[in-house]
Structure 1
Amino acid sequence: MIESHALLTLNAVPGVGNATTRKLLEYYGSATKVLSLTENDLAADQAVSGKLAAAIAQFPKEQFLAKELALIAQHGVCVLTFHDEEYPESLREIADSPVVLYVKGRLPENLSLSIAVVGSRNASLYGNSIAGQWSARLAEAGFTIVSGMARGIDTAAHTGALKARGHTVAVLGCGLSTVYPPENEKLFAEIASGGAVISEFPMTMPPVAQNFPRRNRIISGLSMGVIVVEAAVKSGALITADFALEQGREVYAVPGKVDSPTSKGVHGLIKQGAKLVSCVEDILEDIHPQLLREFQGSVTPPERKDPVASGAMNATEQQVYGFISDRPVHIDHLIDRCGTDALRVTTVLSCLELKHLIKQLPGKLFVR
């Protein structure tokens, strides 16, 4: 068994975490050696407890590895170990860094210039809008956007980066043979095609609750700073913020409505010393003033195809589209502005949605 396969196998043994793996490697020299030992050998050396010695010795190594490698090939995943040159440098420096990383897609070359955007799964329209717009602008400035592909803010952050044709990395709390949440299957594929979806968990690991706090240290570890957009008092986003502080990363908090439950966690961070930010420029100026100057001056955002100039719409569709922006607008307002009957406007809106030029929100609201 080669060393990378041995690390893959040791990573899957229940109870053996990254710290234990490193301890075993320091004691025995290699994962291959560890897996070759009997339960009595491991117990006699007292490198691990008797319970862990039994777990390692009794683990079905060959069966697991054969199945795992087949799944890795089937899903087009590659595996990085902390020995590999391609392993992210920003992760090497954090406590409890993952020994193994499963990667679907390709880690961006500018991974050292990354920022995390996290927040509530039950995000408001305001929160989703901020996460999407800011992620797009940061991606245009050259940042890789890191998040967890959860519902709400995470999804908005990844989507914003992709719309700007930027890079984004999703860190999952399950194995890469599972898409979680399932409604993000399309987003999973889009992220993998222009960035990477990564996990430290074996391919078939389900999305169990205890995995998510653990994966949050990777989100913050990959990033120069963490932007928190909406978080309740017990939100997982606050765990990411705590990891960021432990890792010496910056924490940025986007203020929200004072009477909103998803603002309480963010406002708590601000009280504790997190940096209040009200625009992307606040973040760029804090990270590096030079980045702000480039963003405002010489950096040209990726070219976006103009749906009007490209001929993607007829004259009626152009008229309706012209009254829709990145701020939600109600259908009644559109009918009034267009000066035509409701059925015609509704039909045009449906066509624009099918062309993925606009999006309908709850309450008959529309945005680009």
Structure 2
Amino acid sequence: MNDDQLRYILALQHVSKIGDTTAKKLINHCGSAEAVFKEKKQNLLKIDGIGEIILSELYQSSHFEEADKELKFIKDENLKHHVFTDPTYPSNLKHCIDSPIVLFESGNINLNNKHIISIVGARKITTSGIAFCEKLIEELAIYKPIIISGFAYGTDITAHKAAIKNKLQTIGCLAHGLNQIYPKVHKKYVAEVENNGGFFTDFWSSDTFDRNNFLKRNRIIAGISQATIVIESAEKGGSLVTADIANSYNRDVFAVPGRVTDSQSVGCNNLIKQQKAHLLSTPLDVPYILNWQLENLQKPPVQKQLFIELDPDEKVVYNYLKDNNKALLDSIAINCNMPTYKLAGILLNMELKGVVRPLPGKLFEVI
């Protein structure tokens, strides 16, 4: 997209009474943002849901004046941008009705890996919450997931740092323009994040810092991800908003349970109790529920391992699969008398040993 086309996109984004959903409707109807501004008002009013109030500010020259300023900032800072019609726009986010019409990026983000999860939670995260978050990312690292969070205090920065430690790509979704960093104390992590991913935002450099921005940016965190994981949360909090948005997008949500007496576990326990989230008790619950596979990883060639040592549980699973050719995970669990959370770990270890492999639909077979 050239600068002139981006200028029209920015101008349309600047119209306060036209949100992302309406902007996309106008662009899809007219063919481009430029065509929206050049279309006669009476024709725009014929579009379902478009009225006088929505269009009342459309033709003000100030939108282009501000768009020119932001375009200069984007060029001066050498920022990348992704319009919702571009092939570079995050595919998961593209399917969300209220996703931004344009995303701004700094860093080196690559979304080719489809294993994308967002990790959110309390800003005042407990030591046990930190430990679980770090263990979660460390054990999922074999799947090379992209870790999304909000670069805020507590859970967010814990997730970003753990991703970097495990050499995973991580993306911070910001609630402000790319001309600033909040909280300021996290500036020391910016370079590492940009070297291992980067930042996304739909806010301009001229946007005022506002608490409501954090709730608005949560739709990006939820929408860009395959699933959202809530590590800890009080009874109310922004992470619960993100979980609700993820549910509205028909995405999987996980929550880490805690003691009923722990204030920072109330939100997670409620999500599970209300069946709004999967109970997350072990990191292997994530690849099991999301049906992640290790097909792109290098595995030891089976023919070079003449004698593979299996522990007693692995032998039970191996013999069952050998007799039945292939079987569903739930069938294996029932017939081998093992809980699925335990079986998921056993199958992963057997897969790494090169004796079983996963198939689509949560099927497994002996190699």
Same structural fold, with TM-score higher than 0.5 when normalized by the shorter chain: yes
Shorter chain as normaliser: what TM range? 0.7 to 0.9
Alignment partner of 2:67 out of 65, 75, 81? 65
| Corresponding residue for residue 42 of structure 1 | 41
- The AA in structure 2 aligned to 1:286 is I
For 1:220 and 1:239, the matched residues in 2 are separated by 9
Pick the aligned partner of 2:197 from 195, 198, 201.
Answer: 195
Give how far 1:235 is off: 1.0
Per the alignment, residue 21 of structure 2 pairs with 19
Give the aligned length. 294
**Greater CA drift, 68-77 or 160-169:** 68-77
Distance 1:282 1:264 in 2: 21
Whether the 8 Å CA contact 1:72–1:203 is kept in 2: the answer is no
Q: Deviations over 1:205-256 (max 9, x none)?
A: 2331222222212111111111101111111111111111121211111122
**Which residue of structure 1 lines up, in the alignment, with residue 219 of structure 2?**
217
- Cα deviation code 1:125-169 (max 9, x no counterpart): 221222233224324431000111111101100110011111011
5 Å-filtered alignment, 1:1-368, equals 2-36=4-38, 41-42=40-41, 45-46=44-45, 48-273=50-275, 274-288=277-291, 290-291=293-294
Root-mean-square deviation over aligned CA pairs? 2.3
- For residue 359 of structure 1, what is the aligned residue in structure 2? none
Residue 2 of structure 1: SS of its match in structure 2? helix
State how far apart, in whole Å, the 2-side matches of 1:265 and 1:81 are. Answer: 35
CA-to-aligned-CA distance 1:76-115 (integer Å, 9 cap, x gap): 3111101211111111112212210101112224342101
In structure 2, do the counterparts of structure 1 residues 296 and 279 end up closer, same or farther at CA, with 3 Å as the change threshold?
A: farther
Q: TM-score, normalised by structure 1?
A: 0.74
Corresponding residue SS for 2:267: helix
In 2, the alpha carbon distance for the partners of 1:12 and 1:170 equals: 23
The verdict on how the C-alpha distance between 1:74 and 1:183 changes in structure 2, with shifts beyond 3 A counting, is farther
What SS class does the counterpart of residue 56 from structure 1 fall into? coil
Equivalent position of 2:307 in the other structure = none
3-state secondary structure, aligned to 2:80: strand
Structure 1: state its 5+ residue gaps. Answer: 299-368
Residue in 2 that maps onto 1:350: none
Q: Secondary structure of 1:58's partner?
A: coil
- Asked if the contact 1:176–1:204 (Cα under 8 Å) also holds between the matched residues in 2, the reply is no
Task: Measure how far apart 1:43 and its partner are.
Answer: 6.2
Report the Cα offset of residue 294 of structure 1: 8.4
Report the AA paired with residue 283 of structure 1: V
Cα separation, partners in 2 of 1:175 and 1:136, compared to 1, 3 Å: farther
Query: Greater shift after overlay, 59-68 or 109-118?
Result: 59-68
TM-score (normalizing by structure 2): 0.74
Identify if the C-alpha distance between structure 1 residues 285 and 295 changes in structure 2 by more than 3 Å, giving closer, same or farther: farther
Decide which moves more: 107-116 or 276-285.
107-116
For residues 75 and 133 of structure 1, do their structure 2 counterparts lie closer, same or farther at Cα, with a shift above 3 Å needed? Answer: farther
Offset, 1:4: 2.5
Alignment check: 8 A CA contact 2:150 2:174 kept: yes
CA distance in 1: counterparts of 2:264 and 2:296, whole angstroms:
33
Do the aligned partners of residues 112 and 294 (structure 1) sit closer, same or farther apart at CA in structure 2, a change above 3 Å counting?
A: closer
Q: Separation in 2 of the partners of 1:126 and 1:91?
A: 32
Q: Alpha-carbon deviation of 1:297?
A: 6.8
> In the alignment, which residue of structure 1 is the partner of 2:323?
none
Query: Contact 2:106/2:200 (CA < 8 Å) preserved in 1?
Result: yes
Alpha-carbon contact 1:135-1:158 (below 8 Å) kept: no
Which amino acid counterpart does residue 114 of structure 2 have in structure 1?
S
AA in 1 matched with 2:69: K
Residue type matched to 2:290 in 1?
A: I
Q: Is the 8 A contact 2:118 2:149 kept in 1?
A: yes
Q: CA 1:76–1:127 in 2, change beyond 3 Å: closer, same or farther?
A: farther
Over 3 Å counting, the alpha-carbon distance change for 1:124 and 1:43 in structure 2 is farther
2:228–2:246 CA contact under 8 A, matched in 1: yes
* C-alpha distance 158-289 of structure 1, shift in aligned 2 (>3 A): closer
Cα distance in 1, alignment partners of residues 255 and 266 from structure 2: 11
Query: 2:218 & 2:192 partners in 1: Cα distance?
Result: 22
- Indicate the SS of the match to 2:88: coil
**Distance (Å, rounded) in 1 between the aligned partners of 2:174 and 2:63:** 24
Report how far residue 201 of structure 1 moved. Answer: 1.7
**Matched residues in 1 for 2:8 and 2:136: separation?**
42
Give CA deviations for 1:299-341 in whole Å, capped at 9, x if unaligned.
Answer: xxxxxxxxxxxxxxxxxxxxxxxxxxxxxxxxxxxxxxxxxxx
Of 232-241 and 72-81, the range deviating more from structure 2: 72-81
